[in-house]
Amino acid sequence: MQLLRTTDPDFDKKFRRIVRDRRESDVDVQRDVATILNEVRERGDAALVEYSMRFDDHRLTTEDDWRISAETCKAAYEALDPALNSALNTAAQRIRSYHENQLPADRDYTDHIGMRLGARWLPVDAAGLYVPGGRAAYPSSLLMNAIPAKVAGVERLVVVTPTPKGQTNPLVLAAAHIAGVDEMWRVGGAQAVAALAYGTDRIKRVDVVTGPGNAWVAEAKRQLYGVVGIDMVAGPSEILVIADANNNPEWIAADLLSQAEHDPTSQSILITDSEALARQVGDAIDLALMKLATAKTAKASWDAHGLIVIVESLDQAPALSDRLAAEHVELMVDDPQALFDQMRHAGSVFLGRHTPEAVGDYIAGPNHVLPTGRRARFASGLSVLDFMKRTSFIDASDAALAAIGPAAIRLAEAEGLPAHALSIAVRLNK
């Protein structure tokens, strides 16, 4: 953990280094992924069979080797512990409700010259969702990706997931049942993303691919961007807590550790105007680490990337926060709205002392797929818009074309595009 004070003479230099630090693994998988994508495009299912054997020790032969059926998902759902069943359903209902509120409105109006203009939103035909296997297979991620697609109106929602040695995660299957996933394939890695983008005999292609994954999956999405739509490529997770002196250090310690336990590359940052709180939070983290089952990961993250910044006044916090443009920002102060009003860049903001970030990870309703690595400067969390597209339209009356056609002709001629000009002129001179 690093401790900085804005009064340090070299504060700006050190803070700038932290802002620039990418924390992303620089394993170069570009060439391997390009090969895999090409193999799947050329050889389809045969390539999937080979890669699944090689990477997941899973043989794709029978229908059951290839697919997880809707019945299997339903059975996993029905076998859930009742409390967990209720929790998953509450989460799904709240996520659905928040995302329904996001649906964009079409526009259709006629302006003063009699030209009808507008835009129509429609869902994509099919969406693919990558669900990691093993430790990172989170039912909450499935809900957060699948429900916005279904709310958008996507008719065919396809999940791909690796099943190492054939193993599946019953919680993920139950979540797929709740979310209404239409197809679920036992393939993973870059090869699964390629199958979604190009299509194979078995797996029909989709239009958008979302969902988290390892470096291979992320690189596959990056390379296939444009062949399909993708969500933002995600990096390591981050939390920034902005807190005044009047806080329970245990609460803040737990919040910082809730990011740190995700991965050693995660980053947890506290900005406070209280030296005492800073010290108490540091102590509370050390204490909590002693009994946390995820202590090894959380400690690695906190030691390497943890940061406490002591400011002279919390008025300095919004500007520092904007430079970090963190994925999650908690505002643990008396008037969180006043701070929020001064901030510009953050993935999601948690206002007040009773809004731990974890409530947003699971159940509050807003999406937990958020821009990382300072991308909140320009990117937004996953939403129904990622599963929709907009068609603009123009309907010119005879009179409307007469009103503005001559100006368009002049511009087309000035740009040296005579057929553009002609296409308007022939209609005006009929």
Contact criterion met (CB below 8 Å) for 313 and 281: no
Q: Say whether residue 233 binds its own copies (CB under 8 A).
A: yes
Question: C-beta of 209: minimal distance to its own copies in Å?
Answer: 10
Of 99, 177, 328, 368, catalytic: 328
Q: Say whether residue 288 binds its own copies (CB under 8 A).
A: yes
Q: Hey, which residues between 101 and 120 contact its own copies (CB under 8 A)?
A: 101-102, 104, 107, 109, 111, 115-117, 119
262 labeled part of a ligand binding site: yes
Binding residue count for its own copies, defined by CB under 8 A: 124
259 labeled part of a ligand binding site: yes
The mark string for 401-430 relative to its own copies (x by CB under 8 A, - otherwise) is x--xxxxx-xxx-xxxxxxxxxxx-xx--x
At a CB cut-off of 8 Å and minimum separation 6, what does 267 contact?
23, 236, 237, 238, 239, 259, 301, 305, 306, 307
| CA-based nearest residue to 114, from 402, 393, 392 | 402
Q: Hey, which residues between 42 and 101 contact its own copies (CB under 8 A)?
A: 83-84, 86-88, 90-91, 94, 97-98, 101
At a CB cut-off of 8 Å and minimum separation 6, what does 401 contact?
424, 427, 428
Give dist(CA 376, CA 353) in Å, integer. Answer: 23
Q: Hey, which residues between 121 and 160 contact its own copies (CB under 8 A)?
A: 122, 124-125, 135, 138-140
Question: Where does this chain touch its own copies (CB under 8 A) — which range of 40-48, 271-279, 303-311, 348-356?
Answer: 348-356
At a CB cut-off of 8 Å and minimum separation 6, what does 27 contact?
215
Question: Residues 385-404, buried b or exposed e (16+ Cβ, 10 A)?
Answer: ebbbeeeeeeebeeebbeee
Question: C-beta of 151: minimal distance to its own copies in Å?
Answer: 15
| CA-based nearest residue to 417, from 425, 429, 409 | 409
Q: Say whether residue 198 binds its own copies (CB under 8 A).
A: no
Question: C-beta of 146: minimal distance to its own copies in Å?
Answer: 15
Q: Say whether residue 300 binds its own copies (CB under 8 A).
A: no
237 labeled part of a ligand binding site: yes
Q: Is 97 left (phi over 0), alpha (psi -120 to 50) or beta?
A: alpha
> Would you say 188 or 229 has its CB closer to its own copies?
229
Question: C-beta of 80: minimal distance to its own copies in Å?
Answer: 9
Contact criterion met (CB below 8 Å) for 405 and 114: no
What SS3 class is residue 29?
coil
Of 39, 219, 238, 327, catalytic: 327
Q: Say whether residue 208 binds its own copies (CB under 8 A).
A: yes
Residue 301: C-alpha distances to residues 257, 266, 267, 294 (Å): 9, 6, 6, 11
Residue 397: C-alpha distances to residues 29, 83, 110, 272, 408 (Å): 55, 61, 10, 62, 15
Q: Does the annotation count 328 as an active-site position?
A: yes
312 labeled part of a ligand binding site: no
Question: C-beta of 415: minimal distance to its own copies in Å?
Answer: 5
Question: C-beta of 62: minimal distance to its own copies in Å?
Answer: 30
Q: Does the annotation count 112 as an active-site position?
A: no
The mark string for 356-395 relative to its own copies (x by CB under 8 A, - otherwise) is xxxxxxxxxxxx--xx-x-xxxxxxx-x-x---xxxxxxx
Residue 372: C-alpha distances to residues 61, 71, 205, 347, 424 (Å): 39, 36, 28, 8, 47
Which residues are annotated as catalytic?
Answer: 327-328
What residues form the annotated binding site for substrate?
237, 259, 262, 328, 361, 415, 420
